[in-house]
C-alpha cells in the first residue's frame, strides 16, 4: 500500500474517514461517499507537484498526436491537485481543459479560465456528453481501482472521447523513483508474429504472447511497459482485469506502464466481422489521381472520419503510406488497402437506388493507389478488385497527364468514376480567387474530365460523365479535412425553403441565378433592370465557405462559431 510520513498508511486513512489523522494531524479528503487517499494540505500539494515534474522529466509528456496549436478539448481524470493541467496550460494555452476527481483536491491558487473542475467518479457515469474530448489523460489508477472496476472505467473514458481522440493512461508501479536511464533492451510480444521481417535490431526480441494469459516473461522484468490500441482487442468483462494484472506483474518496482488508445467510431472488431457477411453493405473503392494532387492526404481525412486516426493528424500522417521509401519520398509507390466502418444517415440510404442494402452500416474497403506514371500497374491491379473509383483532381492544376491515364484505366476496367476537386483551400488562401473565378475554374476542370470520358464510350456502362448537379462531383480540402457535394447544400436549402431537393440540386449548378428581391430564378445574369445577379452556386454554396474563411483569417472568433452552427 502507499505509505505516508509518520507511518500513516492507506488502511488508516480509510479507517479514519474524513477526520484528521491523530498520528500526523493531517486532514484527508475522505467523506461519506468516497475514500480519497491524499492528504488535504500544502505539503501534499508540493509533493504532487514535485512528483509530476519528476515523472515528466523521466518519461516525457503527451505525445504530439494531436494538434494542440489549433486548440483541443482535454479531460484529466483523477486530476488531483491539477498540476498536470497547470503544466499543460503553460505548454498549450489554446486548449480547453476539464478535470474530475472523487474529491476536490485542486490547488486553489489555480486561476485559469480554460480549466473547469467537476467532482466525479470514473467508475460511475462522468458528467460529460458522449464524444466530448480530443484527449483523455489518466494516471496512477492501478492503485485506485479494483480489478472488477477497470471495465467500467475504460468504457466510461471511451464514451466521453471523440472519435479519433486519444486516451493516455500512465501508471507508476511503486513508490521509488527510477534515477537514471539505463541502456535500453527492447522486447515485443503479440498474439501473432506480424513484425517487419527486415527489422535487424540486436536490442529487439519478439515473442508470441497474449497479455490476457501469462506472458512469457519473469516477474519484475521490465522498466517500461507500453500498450496501445487494446480497447478494440479486449473483451470488457473478463479480459481487462487480467491484462492489467499481467502488465503489473512483469513491470519492475519503480517501472512505468503506459497505455495509449485512440477511440474508434463506436464499433468493435466483431461488428466489422458481421458486416463482412453483409455483401450488399460492402463497398470496395480505389482512390486514383495524378501525382501530388492530394490523394493520400484526402485518404487521411477519410481514415480520420472512420475514427482510425485523430482528426488533428489527418492530412499530415499519410497513414496509407506504410513503406519506408514512401515516407521518405512523400509519394505512394504501392497500393495500400484499409477497411473502414461507416454509418450512413437514413436520407442518404434513400439515395441509393437500384441496389439492395441491409441497414445503415457499411464496410468500406479503401485502396490508395500510386499517382506516378511509373506505377500504373498498381492502379490497374487495384481497379480490378474495386466497385468504384474516386478520381482526385487538383482544382488549381486541373486535369494532368496521369489524370487522363487513370481515367482511361478505370473505364477500361468498366468502373464508373466519380470526381473530387481537391485543394479548394489553395484557391481561397493562396490565389485568393473570387467566387465567380473559382466557379469557372471548377467548370473548366469538370468539362476537361468529361471530354476524356467521352472518348472512351462503353455502351454497357452507359453515361459515365460526371455532373455536380447529380452528386458525382465533390469539392474538398483534404488537408483541412472538409468536403461537400451539392446534395448536402440542396438538403439544407430544400428544408429551409420547402422546395424539392432534386430541383434544388439542378439550380445550384450552371447558369442559374437567383433574384433576392423578386425571389425568382433566372437563367440570365442580369435582372429586368439590367443589374447583375449572382450565380446560385456562388450565392448558396461558395458564399458561406468564403465567410467562414474570412472570419477565421481575420480572427473574428464569435462570428466563426455562429457560422459553423
Would you state the pLDDT for residue 5?
32
**What's the mean pLDDT in 317-340?**
72
Residue 551 predicted with pLDDT over 60: yes
Q: CATH second-level architecture of 511-564?
A: Alpha-Beta Complex (3.90)
Query: What average pLDDT is seen over the chain?
Result: 75
395-410 residue pLDDT tens: 888 888 888 888 888 8
Name the least confident of 25-39, 73-87, 239-253: 25-39
- Going by their DSSP bridges, the two strands 115-119 and 133-139 should be labelled as unpaired
- The grid cell for 494 is 430544400
Mind giving me the DSSP string for 320-384?
Answer: T--SHHHHHHTS--S-EEEEEEEEPPHHHHHT--SS---SSEEEEEEEE---SGGGHHHHHHHHT
Partnered with residue 499 across adjacent β-strands are none
**Nearest to residue 300, comparing CAs of 111, 170, 147, 479?**
479
pTM: 0.56
Name the least confident of 106-115, 339-348, 427-436, 554-563: 554-563
269-303+311-336+360-485: CATH topology: Rossmann fold (3.40.50)
- The grid cell for 491 is 438538403
The number of residues making up the chain comes to 565
The more confidently predicted of residues 489 and 275 is 489
**What's the mean pLDDT in 518-530?**
82
Per-domain residue ranges of the chain: 42-170, 177-260, 269-303+311-336+360-485, 511-564
- The grid cell for 57 is 522529466
Q: pLDDT over 70 for what percent of the chain? A: 73
Name the least confident of 92-106, 318-332, 361-375: 318-332
Residue 535 predicted with pLDDT over 90: no
Would you state the pLDDT for residue 307?
67
CATH entry, 177-260, from 3.40.640.10, 3.40.50.150, 2.60.120.280, 3.40.605.10: 3.40.50.150
Name the least confident of 118-132, 227-241, 274-288: 227-241
Contacts of 350 (CB under 8 A, 6+ apart): none
Matching fold, domains 177-260 and 269-303+311-336+360-485: yes
CB count in 10 Å sphere of residue 500 = 10
Q: Does domain 42-170 have CATH number 3.40.50.150?
A: yes
Residue 194 predicted with pLDDT over 70: no
Amino acid at each position: 500500500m502507499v505509505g505516508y510520513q509518520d507511518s500513516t498508511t492507506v488502511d488508516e486513512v480509510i479507517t479514519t474517514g474524513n477526520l484528521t489523522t491523530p498520528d500526523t494531524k493531517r486532514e484527508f479528503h475522505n467523506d461519506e461517499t468516497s475514500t480519497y487517499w491524499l492528504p488535504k494540505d500544502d505539503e501534499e500539494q508540493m509533493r504532487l507537484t514535485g512528483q509530476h515534474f519528476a515523472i515528466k522529466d523521466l518519461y516525457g509528456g503527451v505525445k504530439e498526436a494531436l494538434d494542440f496549436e489549433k486548440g483541443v478539448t482535454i479531460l484529466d481524470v483523477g486530476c488531483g491537485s491539477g498540476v498536470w493541467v497547470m503544466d499543460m496550460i503553460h505548454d498549450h494555452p489554446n486548449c480547453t481543459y476539464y478535470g474530475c476527481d472523487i474529491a476536490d483536491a485542486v490547488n486553489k491558487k489555480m486561476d485559469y479560465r480554460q480549466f473547469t473542475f467537476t467532482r466525479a467518479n470514473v467508475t460511475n457515469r462522468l458528467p460529460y456528453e458522449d464524444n466530448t474530448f480530443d484527449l483523455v489523460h489518466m494516471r496512477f489508477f492501478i492503485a485506485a481501482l479494483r480489478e472488477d472496476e477497470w471495465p467500467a472505467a475504460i468504457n466510461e473514458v471511451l464514451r466521453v472521447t471523440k472519435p479519433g481522440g486519444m486516451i493516455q493512461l500512465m501508471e507508476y508501479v511503486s513508490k521509488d523513483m527510477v534515477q537514471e536511464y539505463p541502456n535500453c533492451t527492447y522486447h515485443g510480444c503479440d498474439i501473432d508474429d506480424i513484425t517487419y521481417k527486415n527489422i535487424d535490431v540486436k536490442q529487439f526480441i519478439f515473442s508470441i504472447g497474449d497479455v490476457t494469459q501469462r506472458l512469457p516473461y519473469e516477474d519484475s522484468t521490465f522498466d517500461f511497459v507500453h500498450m496501445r490500441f487494446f480497447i478494440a482487442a479486449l473483451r470488457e468483462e473478463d479480459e481487462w482485469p487480467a491484462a492489467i494484472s499481467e502488465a503489473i506483474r512483469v513491470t519492475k518496482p519503480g517501472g512505468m506502464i503506459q497505455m495509449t488508445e485512440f477511440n474508434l467510431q463506436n464499433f468493435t472488431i466483431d461488428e466489422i466481422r458481421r458486416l463482412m457477411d453483409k455483401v450488399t453493405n460492402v463497398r470496395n473503392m480505389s482512390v486514383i489521381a495524378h501525382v501530388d494532387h492530394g490523394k493520400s492526404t484526402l485518404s487521411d481525412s477519410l481514415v480520420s472520419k472512420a475514427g482510425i486516426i485523430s482528426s488533428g493528424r489527418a492530412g499530415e500522417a499519410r497513414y496509407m503510406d506504410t513503406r519506408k521509401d514512401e515516407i521518405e519520398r512523400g509519394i505512394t509507390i504501392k497500393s495500400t488497402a484499409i477497411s473502414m466502418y461507416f454509418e450512413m444517415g437514413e436520407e442518404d440510404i434513400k439515395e441509393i437506388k437500384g441496389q439492395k442494402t441491409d441497414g445503415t452500416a457499411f464496410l468500406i474497403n479503401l485502396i490508395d493507389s500510386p499517382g506516378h506514371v511509373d506505377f500504373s500497374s498498381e492502379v490497374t491491379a487495384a481497379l480490378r478488385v474495386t466497385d468504384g473509383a474516386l478520381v482526385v483532381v487538383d482544382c488549381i492544376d486541373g486535369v494532368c497527364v496521369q489524370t487522363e491515364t487513370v481515367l482511361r484505366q478505370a473505364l477500361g476496367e468498366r468502373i464508373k468514376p466519380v470526381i473530387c476537386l481537391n485543394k479548394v483551400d489553395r484557391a481561397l488562401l493562396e490565389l485568393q480567387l473570387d467566387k465567380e473565378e473559382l466557379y469557372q475554374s471548377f467548370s473548366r476542370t469538370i468539362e476537361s474530365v468529361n471530354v476524356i470520358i467521352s472518348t472512351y464510350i462503353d455502351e454497357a456502362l452507359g453515361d459515365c460523365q460526371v455532373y455536380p448537379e447529380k452528386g458525382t462531383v465533390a469539392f474538398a480540402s483534404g488537408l483541412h479535412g472538409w468536403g461537400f457535394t451539392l446534395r448536402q447544400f440542396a438538403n439544407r436549402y430544400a428544408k429551409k425553403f420547402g422546395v424539392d431537393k432534386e430541383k434544388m440540386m439542378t439550380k445550384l449548378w450552371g447558369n442559374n441565378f437567383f433574384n433576392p428581391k423578386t425571389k425568382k430564378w433566372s437563367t440570365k445574369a442580369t435582372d429586368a433592370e439590367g443589374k447583375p445577379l449572382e450565380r446560385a452556386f456562388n450565392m448558396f454554396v461558395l458564399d458561406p465557405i468564403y465567410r467562414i474563411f474570412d472570419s477565421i483569417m481575420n480572427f473574428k472568433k464569435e462570428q466563426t462559431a455562429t457560422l459553423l452552427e
